Amino acid sequence: MDRTIDDPVEASENDWRSKLTPEQFRITREGGTERAFTGAYWNHKGDGMYRCICCGAELFRSDRKFDSGTGWPSFWEGVKPEAIRTIQDVSHGMVRTEIRCAQCDSHLGHVFQDSPTPTGLRYCVNSASLDFDDKT
């Protein structure tokens, strides 16, 4: 089911814990980060759609994915602007732009303005925050 911005997902901490693995919960609900070069999708080459692991919202198309050399899945554009919200992150002694799923507020990763792609953006995403649908 495709969700829209007008159909937000809300769940309790216990609901999220029962749905997600401990690693997925740590990353998506607590703002964690997986180690570089360890996630399922950092080097994934499939053709399809990357969705939010928590709510299933469409986030990124595979044809917008590129190898940034960072060890995390990197995309130069989201599926649509309203699918991903951004907030300023001042943790760890730096200023970054955090990206979250607009439907369920799951932490996805960060976006940087350092990409050689058409948009100049690098959405650096944790694999644990994503699910992948192959094109069939």
Q: Find, among 113, 107, 112, the residue nearest to 124 by Cα.
A: 112
Tens-digit pLDDT profile for residues 39-91? 999 999 999 999 999 999 999 999 999 999 999 999 999 999 999 999 998 87
Confidence (pTM): 0.89
One CATH from 3.40.1390.10, 1.20.910.10, 2.40.100.20, 2.170.150.20 for 13-134: 2.170.150.20
**Is there a contact between 131 and 56 (Cβ–Cβ < 8 Å)?**
yes
101 is a catalytic site residue: no
Which residues, other chains included, contact 115 with Cβ-Cβ below 8 Å and sequence gap of 6+?
66, 68, 74, 76, 121, 122
> From the centroid of its chain, how far is CA 41?
11
**Is there a contact between 75 and 60 (Cβ–Cβ < 8 Å)?**
yes
Catalytic site residue from 52, 55, 104, 124: 124
Which residues, other chains included, contact 116 with Cβ-Cβ below 8 Å and sequence gap of 6+?
none
Tens-digit pLDDT profile for residues 96-130? 899 999 999 999 999 999 988 899 999 999 999 99
Q: Distance (Å, rounded) from C-alpha 23 to C-alpha 1?
A: 25
Taking the domains of the chain in order of start, what are their residue ranges? 13-134
Q: Distance (Å, rounded) from C-alpha 51 to C-alpha 12?
A: 21
